[in-house]
């Protein structure tokens, strides 16, 4: 009986949450998927002794920092294209009723890439790697995580609306997906991804010689 009362209290508390509180909770849950990816990426580095898995550019998303010489255009494209690709996948997922799992997977994937990069930096540079992570990886990673979490939120909201309509739970069309507004939101997020990549280029240009080279 007590367990039943607790469940009822939890349901009641969730129902009493304001819109802003529900939004923060939703974003927090999405962030958890990304942080779990970071943990998974770190484990992959420990387990993948031959570096076959973590060396894949599809897996690490070019987040790995190294002394390899690259032009600024190359640095920018390596930073921007994976973000743009992920946002595109999220936007497409939002147009389908069951696009939520794949959309969540994009967050987990980005987290894995960040975890791999951070772990490799620490392994290669030791204590110095902490400062490299703090200065060269963390700002860009957090910025991109914020962008992708917002993209996932919009995508999942859209998928849920389509799903509800498909099962007859939203026939009044008050929450129908407005394609034009939906696309505009992702264009804005792509613009933020552009800024994130410019930030990545700037940080890489300034600190590669100072922190990465012996």
Burial class, 200, CB count within 10 angstroms (exposed 0-12 / middle 13-18 / buried 19+): buried
Q: How far apart (Å, rounded) are the C-alpha atoms in residues 143 and 80?
A: 12
| pLDDT (0 to 100) of residue 6 | 53
Q: How far apart (Å, rounded) are the C-alpha atoms in residues 156 and 49?
A: 36
Residue 200 above 90 pLDDT? yes
For the stretch 66-118, pLDDT in tens is 777 788 899 999 999 999 999 999 999 999 989 999 999 999 999 999 999 99
pLDDT band at 9 (very low <50, low <70, confident <90, very high): very low
| pLDDT (0 to 100) of residue 80 | 95
Give the contacts of 26 (CB within 8 A, at least 6 positions apart).
153
DSSP conformation letters of 35-59: HHHHHHHHHHHHH-TT-TTTT-HHH
Residue 16 above 70 pLDDT? no
Tell me the mean pLDDT in the region 43-68.
Answer: 81
Q: How far apart (Å, rounded) are the C-alpha atoms in residues 41 and 45?
A: 6
pTM of the predicted model, to two decimals?
0.84
| pLDDT (0 to 100) of residue 101 | 94
Give the contacts of 56 (CB within 8 A, at least 6 positions apart).
none
């Amino acid at each position: 009986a007590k367990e039943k009362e607790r469940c009822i209290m939890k349901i009641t508390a969730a129902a009493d949450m304001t819109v802003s509180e529900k939004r923060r909770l939703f974003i927090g849950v999405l962030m958890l998927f990304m942080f779990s990816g970071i943990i998974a990426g770190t484990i992959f580095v420990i387990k993948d002794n031959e570096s076959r898995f973590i060396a894949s550019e599809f897996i690490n998303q070019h987040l790995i920092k190294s002394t390899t010489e690259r032009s600024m255009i190359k640095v920018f494209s390596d930073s921007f294209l994976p973000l743009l690709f992920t946002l595109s996948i999220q936007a497409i997922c939002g147009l389908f009723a069951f696009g939520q799992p794949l959309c969540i997977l994009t967050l987990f994937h980005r987290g894995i890439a960040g975890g791999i990069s951070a772990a490799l930096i620490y392994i290669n540079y030791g204590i110095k790697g902490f400062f490299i992570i703090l200065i060269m990886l963390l700002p860009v990673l957090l910025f991109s995580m914020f962008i992708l979490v917002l993209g996932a939120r919009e995508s999942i909201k859209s998928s849920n609306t389509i799903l509800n309509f498909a099962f007859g739970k939203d026939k009044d069309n008050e929450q129908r997906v407005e394609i034009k507004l939906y696309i505009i939101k992702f264009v804005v997020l792509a613009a933020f991804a552009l800024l994130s990549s410019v930030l990545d280029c700037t940080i890489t240009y300034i600190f590669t010689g100072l922190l990465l080279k012996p």
